[in-house]
Amino acid sequence: MARHPSCEELDSVLLTHYAYAVPSEDTGRGKVFYAERYGGDGISFHGGGARCGYDGRFQLKGIGPNSLLGDKADPHHSDGKLTLKSALSEFTWSQALQEILPFGAVQCLAVISIGPMQAADSADVRHTRALLVRESALRPAHFDRAAYFRPRFDLRGHRREDVARVKEMIALLPELLPRAPDVSTDQWYRLDVRERFERGIHEFIRRAAVQCAAAKSRLLLHNLSLSNIALDGRWLDLASVASLHPGESYGDKNFDIAWNELKWQAAPILRGLLSICFQAEKYIFGGKGAMISLCTGAVGRFEREYAHAGCRDLLVFAGIPMIVADKMHSNPLCLEWATRLSAHIDAALASHVVNARYLADIAQAPSKPAANLLHYTFAREFSVDWVRLGNLGRDIDLALQRLFPKVLALAFASAGEIGIARQPLLFAIAVNAQKYASERVGLDFDSIDADLQAWCDDHAWAYVQADGTLQVHVDRLRSRIVERLACDPDTMLTIVAGGGPRHLRYDLTGNCLIEIRGGNVIEFPDFINERNCTDFVFLKTLGCLGLQHEIQE
């Protein structure tokens, strides 16, 4: 068993209340779980959570097929089971995304391994089966029709019941939508139903835009729909989350196909919003047409919020610390830079021809340079030859090239206002650019999938031993993801340095490197003044990105 750090339940309590599955024979002790109806796109022909159960407190995934299973379910959902590998993937990503995304993720609280299972699509393959215990969360899909539901089991009157469900649920939506941070609780409940609905929809859209912008800047793909984002903006159903990067694989998809999905991953939410507004117009507001204009306005709100959040997050991707990016991202110069750079990146990375040529150039180069996106960062402005830049981004247009030094000058000014000098900022840019834009070895979908599968093959029954092996492995994987994808919200710069008991942080305002090694704190004052802070050879000796640490004490 693996448990979330915040889960206060004892292992024995979790096993007593959640070690249940739909049996092949009706034997043994039983417990009632409720299937969760919801609709919208992205759920195939199911009527909701077809392999989940809810007991009034937590949701249990992998419980077996329930009455919401569709008649055209794919092999991996038809038996209602969950493999240990998939459960561990979702468990790990839920913790990692909590630290990476602005609104986090619905937390998975425990993984319970319950024994071997035959693969649904092969009689010769066996996996370890698991149950995933996670927080329950309201989704926009709870308020939309399951129009394509074709039940595998006899479920008479399911259409009539689905209509009744939506009519009942949509009436509750104004009370359940998220409240904007600039509206007090008293103000919120003094609003009439229509205004609360409108403001709540806009707040949900704002959160979705901020989440999507952050995810794109971290190159994180999640096949979003109304059913895998919560009303409060958190993500869930995370087994298919992938960190994208040129030269690395995403299942059986080419990178350009995956990037196109990343580029448009918010589209299903916006389409689903139209359906929800239609249901609200029909059942709450009397069919006067006002909700259609609301929906149009909400889409416009999404585009504006996505542009501003995207500018800030693209600045971070390009090396600017978040605390500085927060001060400058609304500047028209930054917005123009972000719009042009984002369009160029989309055009390049979504092109199969460009990616194929880029990877071919890497393969033919004598030194086999690693794939990277460093030409899209402010590292391109450094005069020293501190890293071999990749081919991607070499061909950016002249107008965009001229914007880079202007935005960098604005960053120096913004940083100076909060006490960050020029040299420490350059050091932060060098570290952050390498952190976000260099090759992400071991973080792509297939690598994490293989990592978890190898662990499952070697430790299929570790949960019986209760030796903590599973939790240690999950923690190590989560740390690896967070180190490369999370950003620092303050003036303390985290430096990725090989894992283990060593941690390096740099105080941008105090110009002091702080190393925590085995519980001991070692400080290197006036750190930058003695070194070329943008020299990549120096960054290697420092230990960035897992390389050897050779600071002379």
Strands 502-507, 512-517: pairing is antiparallel
What does the pLDDT average to over 124-141? 85
The candidate with the shortest Cα–Cα distance to 82, out of 120, 110, 48, is 120
Q: For the segment 329-388, what is each residue's pLDDT rounded down to a tens digit?
A: 999 999 999 999 999 988 888 777 666 666 666 555 544 455 678 889 998 887 544 445
pLDDT of residue 149: 85
| Main-chain phi, psi angles of 365, to 5 degrees | -70, 140
Secondary structure (H, E, C), 516-536: EECCEEEEEECCHHHCCCCCH
Q: For the segment 438-487, what is each residue's pLDDT rounded down to a tens digit?
A: 877 788 888 898 899 888 887 755 444 445 677 788 888 998 899 889 99
Listed by start position, the domains of the chain span 2-138+145-153+449-465, 173-309, 318-445+491-546
User: Which residue type, as a one-letter code, is found at position 286?
Assistant: G
User: Which residue type, as a one-letter code, is found at position 341?
Assistant: L
Q: For the segment 485-524, what is each residue's pLDDT rounded down to a tens digit?
A: 999 999 999 886 554 445 788 899 988 888 776 666 777 7
Lowest mean pLDDT among 146-160, 161-175, 354-368: 354-368
Burial 139-177 (b: 16+ CB within 10 A, else e): bbbbbbbbeebbbbeeeeebeeebeebbeebbeebbeeb
DSSP 8-state assignment for residue 142: G
CA 176 to chain centre: 24
Q: For the segment 92-119, what is each residue's pLDDT rounded down to a tens digit?
A: 999 999 999 999 999 999 898 887 765 5
- Give the percent of the chain with pLDDT over 70: 76
Specify the residue for token string 């997050």: 313
Contact 44, 58 (CB under 8 A): no
Specify the residue for token string 């609200």: 280
For 283, other C-beta atoms within 10 Å of its C-beta total: 18
Looking at the predicted structure, is the pLDDT value of residue 2 above 70? no
